[in-house]
Amino acid sequence: MNILDKIVADKRIEVDFRKGLIPVSQLEQSVLFERATVSLTKALRESETGIIAEHKRRSPSKSVINQKSSVWDVAKGYEKAGACGMSVLTDGKYFGGSLDDLLAARASVDMPLLRKEFIIDEYQLLEAKAYGADVCLLIAACLTRNEIKHLSEFAKKLGLDVLLEVHNQEELEKSLMPSLDMLGVNNRNLKTFEVSLETSKSLSTQIPDDFVKVSESGISSVEAIKELKPYGYQGFLIGENFMKTDDPAQSAIGFIGQL
């Protein structure tokens, strides 16, 4: 069992537990549930930089990344830096995140927020909406084509943008459908954790222009972004590069300033 299989198995148990804790009716009564979402897809299409900056405390591959910086300060800093949007990890067991992080980010900024999560159930999309997300992530590696279709269509009904993440051509081929807004290529091999920008480059020609192309993982320099732009990428999800520093916001300001 690889790390993704393990995370998904744990996630199923977690989601069942949360369903018993907070009923759907309660999520739908949230103040934020009726809020009009802000489109990350539109922001990326209109941006010259395309940065989606992430808040991440830890990960299975790197252990502790940053346990000190507050979500509030990081979100404010990312917005000030000119990021197009912010990705907020909400998985607790493996990444040290929570839905409260999403709530704190929503309270501090107006830019689009992505709930970065291992989504396997429509209940998690209702949570995303109730806690102030504008975008949801679907990971092709842990979903069937039918599940991707069902979850992406449900997300669109809620007004959420959909970012679908793939790691290889097989995942991409099973995933292409009209209910997606953005296609993200993860440059990290989930089996070995090795990172290569060649993954984004090789898959770029297979992604129709209807979708905004997003490159994820291993983007640690301005040069990497300049290298990927000719391949049609308009979005760049940067996770650890900012968070591994003492001041993620200042790192983002310096990085985006170079673009």
Active site residues per annotation: 54, 56, 116, 165, 186, 216-217
Residue type, 133: A
Handedness of CA 167, 245, 97, 10 (dihedral sign): positive
Question: What CA–CA distances, in Å, run from 214 to 25, 75, 77, 150, 231?
Answer: 34, 20, 22, 22, 11
5 contacts: CB under 8 Å, gap ≥ 6: 142
Question: What CA–CA distances, in Å, run from 7 to 14, 169, 196?
Answer: 10, 23, 23
Q: Which of 232, 227, 252 is nearest to 240 (CA)?
A: 252
Q: Which of 36, 58, 54 is nearest to 214 (CA)?
A: 54
**For residue 20, how far is the Cα from the chain centroid?**
26
Q: Which residues pair with 85 in a beta bridge?
A: 52
227 contacts: CB under 8 Å, gap ≥ 6: 197
Taken as a whole, the chain contains a residue count of 259
Q: What is the radius of gyration, based on Cα positions, of the chain?
A: 17
